[in-house]
Structure 1
């Protein structure tokens, strides 16, 4: 039974704005914390080992609950699920800001991750179905892509401003007024919808398997950087998480009402778009994380200065994704725009791999960042549109959750792999007699080159697996969407 939506009297664009602000708030919070970590460590007296769990305590439930939350949106209504997630996210943000011990902060971050997963799992599905027209739908997806990318780029800046001018507590308090306004406006602006109910497709065993498997997998990935990929702990937990996920796949193949209908993957567009998304985000975390470290630890920028360094990139992403990508997608097809964007991302990472230890921002970072902004501003809306338009509106919630899960897993694995490469390269250069800063610069150069490899792999997958979709925007037949049980 499909999910029914009743449009309110408000504009569909107001719906998209509310959802995109929610998405930007959630993504912003994921990146704003990185800049404030030193201040958090000093304020609460956290050990280096526990400091990483200020980030990981959020990532683990967020990555693990997205599929379940997306399916709940399909069954009980995406509006209710989104608003519940925003309310929980905002309330737990206040608890984070009020925390006076590391235990309280880590526990609050776990709750915040749950709220973020519940809210964000439904956003993309609601954005993709806000309009029926192709051009308006492309514009809405472009706005969503900008919200995601803009939140990531603005996080370091806002984190630096709040931390330096107020305190680290305000990186969490800032979410309360935003969340409150979103809930108040969302109650009236978002379309009323209702699903078939929990009794019409609640695969509790499948939910338990995928949630446990995804949370354990994310935990294993983020913990592997500390204990090592070859450690017995990593291998054991990794094998257990894969066993749980294999059990989930088996369950979906046999369940009468599966949580994730495997028929979705009969669409080559959806499957390939998720692979491209995984590889693209795995590389993009290199820019957000190691780019910030390069500016601070090599060029000696303050947190505020490093954040300001990302402003031009955010502006370019906004101009391209909001003002250009929809027109190009409509005229030339999403596949062509995607491949162009990915090629520019590859070029930008290669440029960053030459960033010097005595570099200058205007020469070593900004040009590559601007190319990156154009590339990501083109690629992100295109790959999202290719994936989301391959499913029916009734499955847009679970498809949205799948896309977000792919993004989170890609980011976690990408960052872990790149971090391992940076550590190994830096240690090698230090052992050879180089000082700390040149060694760090060498490590970051390798990370950028590896990120280029992720983006190149995404380009090759897109070129190989998305051939049929090139004709979708020009009137030729497109790949049919397989029926979903």
Structure 2
């Protein structure tokens, strides 16, 4: 299905001469750099979760304010992703990758040295802002560095394993660093990782130089989409404490939606849009992005609720809690490699995504059956199912969402799918946490309160939220089944060829 044509002239680019390793070695070096950058971004979304009790005690952060340690990162990340993608396309991917790595390392160092809540939140927001530059830049580099279908599938399999397993790895690292060193190393660990990524990125060629003056950026679009996403994500966060029907929550959500609608209207008229609508007005790519958003929203509860269940209900240490997620990481790795290299040649992407979402939904149903006396075997079965399902969903959906995109839009296409991931995580955290809190309150309202009853109520709330997560994952599978029109690898290549021809006709 060809994308709508665009009247925006494609800027002429000239490769810059530089000494680089041979092509195969350069691509492997690019993959290492991309995976290190993506690993930092994904790990930082969860690494502080296990460290929150120690962190809040050290900085004397109140219970009401501790959520901002997580949401400051998510708000900055989700709100600036599209701008980061356009920067990658306009100013050069290698240049923006190195800027993002440097800024992320600097913000992480500030966070590790923070002595107050305000300083820590500023550092977390800085991490989110530079992460919003890193994530789409890395994905656009991956999309353009591996034009061969076989190499591309293998590269996306590795990338999907990093994207899917990084969140669980963040929980493990958070537990180990907090228990054996200090919570500050949950921030400082990024500095040597970023330095290594910078060393790997240095020999890579600068692939684009735009002729004809300074590249233009859609400033009104950037303000509107950033403001809209930040307002909506903040509205979801506010719903946790104020309720979905509160005037403040509804006003934030309504304002965010209005800003996004105005953004769409402006993007239709500006000559150099932040988000070329051709990249989303395509049923297959729209279905892939929506599948990512829903799937991440449905499964995010596994990190949020299991962390509290294992530490508060089962009284496990932070390190043991983090280690409990390792089997999920392994399942994500196996599924990602299968979905990236084996299945695409045999099974259409919509089938892979739908079945994977169903497997993850089964895992969430298993979590909903947890009680106070449940053993780790019950948790293990759920984690393996969720990890295997999410590895398949993320790898196939990310590949589908960015495949066949015009090279000039590779960065913004990567930003769109990453925004779907981040906004889905924000939405899922707010929605499922509100559902769990309401279910807990309802449970206690009909029973005599006691310490044991309060524990039972917490577990009941987690179970209800897990059922909702399973339903959202099932919806992700249905979206993929009905919206993604790519029948298989041959059809994907044909569609990409038709898209390319339509742009140059």
Q: Which residue of 2 aligns with 1:185?
A: 200
- 1:247 equivalent to 2:262? Answer yes
- 1:470 equivalent to 2:487? Answer yes
Match of 2:478 among 456, 460, 468: 460
The total of aligned residue pairs comes to 483
Match of 1:415 among 429, 432, 439: 429
Match of 2:398 among 371, 384, 393: 384
The Cα shift of 1:186 comes to 0.9
Match of 2:79 among 60, 64, 69: 64
Q: Which residue of 2 aligns with 1:431?
A: 445
Match of 1:229 among 230, 234, 244: 244
Q: Classify 1:207/1:383 alpha carbon distance in 2 versus 1 (closer, same or farther; 3 Å).
A: same
- Cα distance between partner residues in 1 of 2:460 and 2:327: 25
Q: Classify 1:4/1:162 alpha carbon distance in 2 versus 1 (closer, same or farther; 3 Å).
A: farther
- 1:29 equivalent to 2:57? Answer no
> What CA deviation, in whole Å up to 9, does each residue of 1:4-42 have, x standing for no partner?
667942431221111111111111111010111111110
Q: Is the 8 A contact 1:139 1:326 kept in 2?
A: yes
- 1:404 equivalent to 2:409? Answer no
CA root-mean-square deviation = 2.1
Q: Which residue of 2 aligns with 1:108?
A: 123
Q: Classify 1:196/1:65 alpha carbon distance in 2 versus 1 (closer, same or farther; 3 Å).
A: farther
The Cα shift of 1:195 comes to 4.2
Listed as ranges, the matches of 1:258-407 within 5 Å are: 258-322=273-337, 325-362=340-377, 364-407=378-421
The Cα shift of 1:139 comes to 1.2
- Cα distance between partner residues in 2 of 1:77 and 1:474: 31
- 1:449 equivalent to 2:467? Answer yes
Unpaired stretches in structure 1, ≥5 consecutive residues: none
Unpaired stretches in structure 2, ≥5 consecutive residues: 1-9
Partner SS, residue 301 of structure 1: coil
Q: Is the 8 A contact 2:43 2:166 kept in 1?
A: yes
The Cα shift of 1:197 comes to 7.6
Q: Is the 8 A contact 1:153 1:288 kept in 2?
A: yes
- Cα distance between partner residues in 1 of 2:494 and 2:444: 58
Q: Classify 1:311/1:475 alpha carbon distance in 2 versus 1 (closer, same or farther; 3 Å).
A: closer
Q: Classify 1:158/1:246 alpha carbon distance in 2 versus 1 (closer, same or farther; 3 Å).
A: same
Q: Classify 1:254/1:484 alpha carbon distance in 2 versus 1 (closer, same or farther; 3 Å).
A: farther
The Cα shift of 1:297 comes to 2.3
Q: Which residue of 1 aligns with 2:6?
A: none
Q: Which residue of 1 aligns with 2:64?
A: 49
Q: Classify 1:432/1:248 alpha carbon distance in 2 versus 1 (closer, same or farther; 3 Å).
A: same
- Cα distance between partner residues in 2 of 1:481 and 1:301: 53
Partner SS, residue 194 of structure 1: coil
Q: Classify 1:198/1:73 alpha carbon distance in 2 versus 1 (closer, same or farther; 3 Å).
A: farther
The Cα shift of 1:385 comes to 1.1
Q: Which residue of 2 aligns with 1:145?
A: 160
Partner SS, residue 208 of structure 2: strand
The Cα shift of 1:288 comes to 1.6
Match of 1:38 among 47, 53, 57: 53
Partner SS, residue 221 of structure 1: helix
Which range is displaced more, 139-148 or 207-216?
Answer: 207-216
- Cα distance between partner residues in 1 of 2:369 and 2:15: 51
Instruction: Give the TM-score normalised by structure 1.
Output: 0.95
Q: Which residue of 2 aligns with 1:95?
A: 110
Match of 1:171 among 182, 186, 191: 186
Q: Which residue of 2 aligns with 1:218?
A: 233
Partner SS, residue 188 of structure 1: coil
Q: Is the 8 A contact 2:86 2:411 kept in 1?
A: yes
Q: Is the 8 A contact 2:95 2:206 kept in 1?
A: no
> What CA deviation, in whole Å up to 9, does each residue of 1:407-450 have, x standing for no partner?
11111111111001100111111222260111111111111111
